[in-house]
Amino acid sequence: MSPLAGLKLRYVIGKNSDDGADGVITEVGYDAPARPIGVGIKYCNLFDEKKSGRFGPYMRDTDTSAQYHEGHIDPKGPGFRANLVEQFARAKAQGFEYVELDNPDAYSVSDVLGAIELAATYGLKVIAKNPRSMDEDATPIIAHPNVYGIIVEKGAGTARQMHELRTRALKPDLPVWFVSFGSGRSWALSIAREIAA
């Protein structure tokens, strides 16, 4: 069973500082300078978060990379690994134990598994993001021993779908957190009703 099971998640990836709290998981943003109190998750991006041009070669923008002005890094080039190494080294130095890998749907399962393996070499445990949004079956990602939970945004899957996925991955008790913001309240309530049913 995941050590995160039963813990409340505060998903504040738009903020780079948050005090956190004992017994609570707090996920902070890309530029967060330190781990919060309690369990901290550091947001990490498979894209070039700042569209810096330092992690080429790049591929054509996805809708998401264009919307957020991020660089869609070619996973076959050296920049893909360099981008992750920079983020993982920073997360480790800041005292984080967990990282979330955002934008996996722009890559293959094999690319994401490589990122999960790389995180493990830094002693970082991974929280999977929106696995049902991928073009391929994400079961191998969820089954990976270095994956400790799943975060799901609005439109990226239902409670039933997430339970089916974690069951196929032989992790039926893997924590799943559904997160919403802005106009996502009605969706969040519908997910809560589905879970309670």
How far is residue 83's CA from residue 172's CA, in Å, rounded to a whole number? 32
Other C-beta atoms closer than 10 Å to the C-beta of 74 total 16
Distance of alpha carbon 186 from the chain centroid: 23
List the chain pLDDT tens, one digit each, 197 residues: 788 999 999 999 988 778 899 999 999 999 999 999 999 999 999 999 999 999 999 999 999 999 999 999 999 999 999 999 999 999 999 999 999 999 999 999 999 999 999 999 999 999 999 999 999 999 999 999 999 999 999 888 999 999 999 999 999 999 999 998 766 677 777 887 878 77
Residue ranges of domains in the chain, CATH in brackets = 8-196 (3.20.20.70)
In Å, how far are 7, 56, 67, 119, 189 from 101, measured between CA atoms?
Answer: 20, 19, 18, 10, 25
Cα separation of 69 and 49, whole Å? Answer: 8
Cβ-Cβ contacts under 8 Å for 139 (sequence gap 6 or more): 165, 168, 169
- Helices 109-121 and 78-93, packing angle to 10 deg: 40
For 42, residues 6+ apart whose C-beta sits below 8 A from its C-beta are 27, 28, 32, 35, 87, 90, 91, 94, 96, 98, 99, 100
pTM score above 0.85? yes
* Rounded Cα gap, residues 125 and 185, in angstroms: 29
